[in-house]
Amino acid sequence: MHQFDLKNKTAIVTGGAQGFGLNIAKRFLDSGAKVIIWDIDKSELIKASKELNNPNLSYNVVDVSNFDQVKEIVDDIIKISNIDILINNAGITGSTSSLWDYDVAEWNKIVQINLMGTFNCCKCIVPTMIKNNYGRIVNVASVAGKEGNANASAYSSAKAGTIGLTKSLGKELADKNIAVNAVTPAGAKTRILNQMSKEHVARMLSKVPRGRFLEIEEFTSLVCWLSSEENSFSTAAVFDISGGRSTY
């Protein structure tokens, strides 16, 4: 497995206590970075911290949909450290239901966490990246944001919004040494699949030409490259990792 050089870099990984986020944190630590994982679940954060068992790892209990909370924690971090890398990974899929039957409160929650959470973190962290003229931001979107998944309109809409945010912010920062990109995975072997019905999971898998779900390590390799200094040109872009499901 390729070794990226993230020495002397500090990364924040939202939704970092499990799934994609936890694997990203591990790979970052192995690559020499200091990593701060954010999650709303304190018990999962403690569990992840014990599992990774690395002195360069710390964590915060954070609800990314709460702007004031995000800003307060960012302000505390930048008193003692730069923030060089931001991985906006926190997200929920929500239940599967037709749009006209979708619960309004749940719709709003999905958008608040997936889209507004990404906005909140970028809004609070980008200014310090501008000050330091360095940053790498990776927003975890989804193939659902490109194509739209039936009975997942809230999640699809939030991830489509994340793609639009990425393109706008990447262009706004293109004259600086700050790269902003999105990744659009298809279904992967993470606990998020447990939130979906068996029928929905089977439908997702049927759309993937490779005939299997994404392995977490495959996804993490792409995120690591986008987060490294090796990615010195690509910005405002969407990197597909869907096993051939999407080709644009």
In tens, the pLDDT along 75-96 reads 999 999 999 999 999 999 999 8
Mean pLDDT for the stretch of residues 163-170: 98
Query: What's the confidence (pLDDT) of residue 206?
Result: 87
Report, as an integer, the average pLDDT of 196-221. Answer: 85
Is 204 domain-assigned?
yes
Q: Is residue 4 part of a domain?
A: no
Overall domain count for the chain: 1
Residue 247 lies in a domain: no
Residues with catalytic function: 155
Structural domain contains residue 1: no
Tell me whether residue 244 is in a domain: no
| CATH number (domain holding residue 190) | 3.40.50.720
Cβ distance 77 to 36 under 8 Å?
A: yes
Percent of residues, the chain, with pLDDT higher than 70: 97
Ramachandran class of 236: left when φ > 0, alpha when ψ lies in -120 to 50, beta otherwise: left
Q: Is residue 112 part of a domain?
A: yes
For residues 29 and 45, give the distance between their C-alpha atoms in angstroms, rounded to a whole number: 16
- Domain range enclosing 77: 10-238
Write out the two tokens for 172.
Answer: 């706004």
122-147 pLDDT, tens digit each: 999 999 999 999 999 999 999 999 99
What digits encode the pLDDT tens for the residues 30-63?
999 999 999 999 999 999 999 999 999 999 999 9
Phi, psi for 167 (deg, rounded to 5)? -65, -40
pLDDT score of 203: 81
Per the domain annotation, does 21 fall within a domain?
Answer: yes
Structural domain contains residue 5? no
